[in-house]
Amino acid sequence: MDIDKELNPEQAKAVRQTEGPVLILAGAGSGKTRTIVYRMAYLLTEMKVAPWNILAVTFTNKAAREMKDRIREMVGPAADQMLVSTFHSACVRILYSNAVKLGYPEKFEIADTTDQKSIIKNVYKKLQIDPKKHPEKMTLNVISAAKDELQSPEEFERANYGDPYMERIAGIYREYQKMLFSNGMMDFDDLIMNTVKLFRDFPEVLDHYQERFRYISVDEYQDTNTSQFELVRLLSEKYKNICVVGDDDQSIYRFRGANIYNILDFEKHFPGCFVVKLEENYRSTENILDAANAVIKHNSERKYKSLWTAGDKGDRIKFRQLNDPMGEASYIADEIRTKKERGERSYGDFAILTRTNIQSKELEDALRVRSIDYDVVKGLRFWDTKVIKDLTSYLLTVDNAFNDMRVIRIINLPKRGIGDASINKISVFAASNGMTFFDALSSIDLVGGIPVKAKAAIRDFHEMILGIRASSKDLTFSETLNRILEETGYMDYLLMEAETPERYKEEKEYIDKLRETLDVYEDETEEPDLTDFMRQNGLEGNNLDKEGEGDSREKVLIMTMHNAKGLEFPEVFMAGMEEGLFPGYASINSEDPLAIEEERRLCYVGITRARENLTLTSARSRMVKGEWRYAAASRFIKEIPKELLNMSTTPEATERKERVFPVNREEAERAFDRTPPAFSPGFKKRSIAAIKKGSEIEKVLPSYKEGDRVMHFKQGEGTVLSIKDGGRDYEVTVNFDKTGVRKMFAGFAKLKKI
């Protein structure tokens, strides 16, 4: 193993420094894993360390397996005697030999999610807790966070003294732990917490494992929480041979409990530590790295480092500001399709990164109508999410109730006391009498074997749907949706099911996006119909070319920046680079300065995913809760030196003269400095309801004519059949290639001549 030939000088320093505490600050794309693997191989082959004296911990089983496989390739079977595992797996090994010391049975069980739910329900019954005031999943999440901070129920109660809500949770936590213990169980978070307790209470056990693990390595150290820090601190206390590898600039999991000060204060916790910085990047072009460095240097809480490359300078970073999210998505999709058609790229070369999952809706639509296959990474496509499937099932049941599967999905959602046995009996009755499932509900008294309470609930459900159906004739689709939410109590159901407040907020955003989509559809369609709406949206995805299904290498990937960490792509688009979205309003308005710094680190992660080309896009306005809001370019774009940016325009040709903003460098710089109001009086919610009340839209003669080929954001390509003056706007009839003949108002349709 010739380290000096196979590694760069800084990597070689990190490998050779085997004794004492070592902090490896590994910048993005700097060969971190390679350095770790070589270091452990060096310990085994050159320093003659016994493999059972080495412990390497990381965060996922996949990362642990890959690390061990690479070490095995270098040193052979000796690697199998090392312990390379996740934090939790390492703790399980220790606890299985020592759990009895803590009062647990030798063969204790690990409580899974189902076990936790069962126990917390019993706790709620015993303490008479109202789950509407203390949603069970959120309570479990608070308890988990407390354990990450090594807080017992008593310590948690003291820390939250004077807060009635949290004091109540402390009582739940105490009873929850009692029930776990009495059943001989630990939950996932107990594994680390109890191992730390074992080490603190039984010095002889700690000494045994300190002797066993004389050399300790920790990967992704910037993501460790308090309990993980204390675990490795205790284990390394005797010999001090602890090597941690991480990048404070990529610490983006604060919401999961990660404590950035574990890496920032490493030198305080481990005096005399050796620090080495890996700054040579083997992934990205010079321009991309310069942009990343320029952004991240605005953070005050960081270890200074500056990425560099011996590779090409590369193209400048594109910045495009579009009118709205639909225009932004169309621009990105067109860029991808153009490069694919030119033979410059395959679809698998592209990644579209977003700040939030909800942004994928317009991007999915734009890719779908262009027949570009895609995957949403670690997340469901918009129309496949549970909240959207639930609510579209309600809408279609109100509209016609022809689809038995949709009715069955919602009849006991939220729970009404209608069990599966009753549903099966109704299904059999409906099939025997040639009726739909919904029609059978009107004859529920004729269905045998249904309990009295269930019959009452079924009648209430049936009458509720009929009542909403009757009122929907005078309502817009989005107003009908609001009526459904109100009468079903669906929002309360979401709150109780949400694991965290953030998850509940995200699901509310999905509902807002559904409202917006319904409004736009009604605006653009002369004779709107809910079944047609679903065919165009939720079911259109079935028209994609399925060749290569399951092979994401030939698909454009859409993912949040959190999910992109650790990945890299030749072409990256970062969408939604706007104030209020990225960084979000919560961070902007937070009294905690670290909130913005975490957002900036997330931006740094996004930028450094790109190998060759990076495009940043933003929308000039975005619909938020039914109203259009102006959006200034993100402060993170302003932090990139202008000489690194390409801000030229791409011509647009639509009847509304929509264009990419900014149109020139001067306007680009004005966009940087523009701070528009949160609510713009010039943009109002566009809906059928507003039109009925007499609002006006801009009437502009279309730039296309009969016979022209046009592109519609949702419907795809088509041929203009006719253009008529419809009074308040021009009425355009188009024969779309995929969806057939449709009539639209030009002002809303935004047809682009092709």
- Which of the residues are catalytic? 32-33, 219-220, 250, 609
Q: Which helix (H) or strand (E) holds 189?
A: helix 188-201
The two tokens of residue 549 are: 């299904």
Q: What is the DSSP letter of 625?
A: T
Report yes or no: 81 and 51 within 8 Å, Cβ to Cβ.
Answer: yes
Q: How many residues does the chain have?
A: 754
Q: Residue 154 and residue 159: Cα distance in Å, rounded?
A: 9
Q: How far is CA 407 from CA 81, 391, 410, 466, in A?
A: 57, 11, 5, 13
Q: Residue 496 and residue 490: Cα distance in Å, rounded?
A: 10
Locate the DSSP E strands across 521-575: 556-560, 569-574
Please state the separation of Cα 248 from the chain's center in Å.
Answer: 21
Q: Residue 527 and residue 532: Cα distance in Å, rounded?
A: 10
Name the residue among 232, 252, 255 with its Cα closest to residue 302: 252
Report yes or no: 83 and 49 within 8 Å, Cβ to Cβ.
Answer: no
CB atoms under 10 Å from CB of 535, counted, come to: 13
Q: Residue 706 and residue 717: Cα distance in Å, rounded?
A: 14
DSSP codes of every residue in 272-312? T-EEEEE-B-SSS-HHHHHHHHHHHTT-SSS-----B-SS-
- Alpha-helical (H) ranges within 246-343 are 261-264, 266-269, 286-296, 325-341
Report yes or no: 644 and 317 within 8 Å, Cβ to Cβ.
Answer: yes
Report yes or no: 360 and 558 within 8 Å, Cβ to Cβ.
Answer: yes
Q: Residue 534 and residue 714: Cα distance in Å, rounded?
A: 12
Backbone angles phi, psi at 541, to 5 degrees: -60, -20
DSSP codes of every residue in 433-502? TT--HHHHHTTGGGSTT--HHHHHHHHHHHHHHHHHHHHHTTS-HHHHHHHHHHHHTHHHHHHHH-SSHH
The residues, ordered by sequence, that sit 6+ positions from 88 with a Cβ below 8 Å of its Cβ are 188, 191, 192
DSSP codes of every residue in 646-664? E-------BTT----B--S
Q: Residue 723 and residue 87: Cα distance in Å, rounded?
A: 66
The two tokens of residue 723 are: 């253009």
Rg (CA), the chain: 29
CA angle (302 as vertex; 300, 306 as ends), nearest 5: 105
The residues, ordered by sequence, that sit 6+ positions from 692 with a Cβ below 8 Å of its Cβ are none
3-state secondary structure of 317: strand
Q: Residue 316 and residue 286: Cα distance in Å, rounded?
A: 10
Q: Which residues pair with 353 in a beta bridge?
A: 559, 574
3-state secondary structure of 272: coil
Report yes or no: 641 and 623 within 8 Å, Cβ to Cβ.
Answer: no
Please state the separation of Cα 299 from the chain's center in Å.
Answer: 24
Q: Residue 517 and residue 532: Cα distance in Å, rounded?
A: 13
3-state secondary structure of 620: coil
Q: Residue 394 and residue 402: Cα distance in Å, rounded?
A: 12
The two tokens of residue 174 are: 């105490």
Q: Residue 518 and residue 281: Cα distance in Å, rounded?
A: 46
